[in-house]
Amino acid sequence: MAYDLEEQEKIDALKAWWERYGTLSMALVLVVVAAFAGWRGWQWYASHQAGQAMGYYEALETAAGQQGDDAVTRIKAASTALRTDYASSGYAARGVLVAAWALQERKDLDGAREQLEWLVRDGTAPAVQAVARLRLAGVLLTQKQYDLALAQVQGAAPDGFAGLYADRRGDVLAAQGHADQAVQAWREALKDLGADPAAQIIQLKIDALNGA
């Protein structure tokens, strides 16, 4: 097929461009395709992981509402799976907190302590971590591990937890026999909690200790 001079010049220019930039263009196309495929693959993986984590969380919640040794076994198994395989998911910290509560309700303090200690070490959910420290202090107080309990609620408290941490410090100090320090901690809690219903309970503790 014959081409006129103008068409031939266009064809020659296109060939020259392709010889110069064709390989680079194909490489760029492949990079874009690979990146898109990788992004879609990551989306699928993240969705799959979230679905699996949710399944373990729901199984844990169900077991927490049941009784018996089998329920305890399922609670611990689901919590272990969340901590081991889905620690970065939003379900892990919440699930472990539920597991700690369920085990504490069943008087399995060592089991609850293990769950809470993991949460205290975990940094992916600061709000849950703050709750875990408070509850861990309570478990350690019950186990009469007073120094360890006090360490959980010493220093600067997370936002919104100053009163609760001071209250728990008072509980530990009272158990240690440090009445004056306990009352001081409880008064700090009252100042922070204001009209919170928990303040009434704290005032009763102060009155009881002062009247002892």
pLDDT at 196 exceeding the cut of 70: yes
The CATH number of whichever domain residue 14 belongs to comes to 1.25.40
Residue-wise pLDDT tens digits, 57-98: 888 888 888 888 888 999 899 889 888 888 878 788 889 999
In this structure, what token pair is assigned to residue 72? Answer: 């305890």
Contacts of 167-174 spanning 24+ positions with Cβ under 8 A: 167/193, 167/198, 167/202, 168/134, 168/137, 168/138, 168/141, 170/202, 170/205, 171/138, 171/141, 171/205, 172/137, 172/141, 172/146, 174/205, 174/209
Residue 44 confidence class, pLDDT cut points 50, 70, 90: very low
State the residue for tokens 């200790």.
Answer: 209
Q: Which domain holds residue 31?
A: 5-152
Q: Is residue 126 part of a domain?
A: yes
Quick check: pTM over 0.85?
Answer: no
Q: Is residue 10 part of a domain?
A: yes
Q: Is residue 199 part of a domain?
A: no
Q: Is residue 77 part of a domain?
A: yes
Residue 144 confidence class, pLDDT cut points 50, 70, 90: very high
Q: Is residue 175 part of a domain?
A: no
Q: Is residue 131 part of a domain?
A: yes
Total number of domains constituting the chain: 1
Q: pLDDT value at position 45?
A: 43
Q: Is residue 158 part of a domain?
A: no
Q: Is residue 43 part of a domain?
A: yes
pLDDT at 38 exceeding the cut of 60: no
